[in-house]
């Protein structure tokens, strides 16, 4: 990626467009793969939570990438720089290669949604999808390889040993979504190379109901949140 130099806005938009094409052109295959991995999964849910919900952030990034990368002026200080005609600005530059370890509960969404920010920022990406959804992981690997050169986006499939090796690579940033217990191992491995890590982990999700709430609507909303994806969602309400 260093050879590429400055990553043009047009290149970033093109990569985002190709990521959208992966989803649109392989929609049915991905839905069928998720159904196979889950034993059964609603086609409508997969289309909504994994396919459409991934296209939205990619489209948003396309529309805003030119604005996001513009330099921002800053005040010059302290003395004596503010007396010497100095000017200051922040210039946003790509990190380089970002690693993504995605989980099984929303295997497509939590692989492609991070790509919106990664590609918009001009980065390359290496992805390790979950071994618990092997059909979906393989479908994504083949679909991405058809649209992207492996030096742009590479998908590495495999089990726990592969994940451990992946976490140990000298990325410029590493993103992990999953269980807190696994996150400790990921962060420990990344620390050997001083890789900055972003963790999105499960936790307790409280629901607070006000006295003025419409209880019928509230109960419907809480149960919809609790039962989506059979409860396998980080936002599932744990207590009220």
Question: What one-character-per-residue DSSP string does 124-165 give?
Answer: EEEEE--TTSHHHHHHHHHHHHHHS-TTTEEE----HHHHHH
Res 60 pLDDT > 70: yes
| More reliable by pLDDT, 119 or 4 | 119
User: What value does the mean pLDDT take over residues 202-207?
Assistant: 84
* Alpha carbons 135 and 195: distance in angstroms, whole number: 30
Rg for the chain (alpha carbons), in Å?
A: 21
Angle, in degrees to the nearest 10, between helices 134-147 and 27-38: 160
| Pairing status of strand 173-178 against strand 72-74 | unpaired
Of the candidates 65, 50, 51, 52, the one whose C-alpha atom is nearest the C-alpha of residue 16 is: 65
**Residue 125: predicted pLDDT:** 97
**Looking at residue 231, what DSSP letter applies?**
G
**Residue 202: predicted pLDDT:** 79
Mean residue pLDDT across the chain: 93
Lowest-pLDDT choice from 9-18, 31-40, 130-139, 199-208: 199-208
DSSP-derived secondary structure for 65-100: HHHHTS-EEE---STTGGGTT--EEE-----SEEEE
Res 87 pLDDT > 90: no
Q: Phi/psi at 145 (nearest 5 deg)? A: -65, -25
Res 79 pLDDT > 80: no
């Amino acid at each position: 990626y260093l050879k590429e130099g400055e990553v043009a806005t047009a290149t970033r938009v093109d990569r985002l467009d190709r990521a959208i094409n992966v989803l649109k052109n392989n929609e049915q295959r991905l839905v069928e793969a998720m159904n196979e991995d889950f034993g059964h999964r609603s086609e409508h849910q997969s289309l909504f939570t994994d396919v459409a919900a991934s296209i939205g952030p990619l489209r948003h990034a396309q529309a805003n990438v030119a604005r996001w990368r513009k330099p921002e002026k800053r005040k010059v200080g302290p003395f004596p720089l503010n007396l010497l005609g100095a000017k200051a600005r922040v210039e946003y530059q790509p990190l380089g290669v970002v690693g993504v370890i995605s989980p099984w509960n929303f295997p497509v969404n939590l692989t492609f949604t991070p790509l919106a920010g990664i590609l918009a920022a001009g980065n390359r990406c290496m992805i390790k999808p979950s071994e618990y959804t092997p059909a979906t992981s393989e479908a994504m690997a083949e679909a991405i390889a058809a649209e992207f050169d492996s030096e742009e986006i590479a998908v590495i499939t495999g089990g726990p040993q592969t994940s451990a090796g992946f976490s140990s690579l000298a990325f410029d940033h590493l993103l992990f979504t999953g269980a807190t217990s696994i996150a400790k191992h990921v962060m420990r491995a990344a620390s050997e190379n001083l890789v900055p890590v972003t963790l999105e982990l499960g936790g307790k999700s409280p629901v607070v109901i006000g006295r003025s709430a419409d209880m019928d609507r509230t109960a419907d909303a809480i149960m919809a949140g609790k039962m989506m994806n059979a409860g396998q969602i980080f936002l599932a309400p744990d207590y009220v």
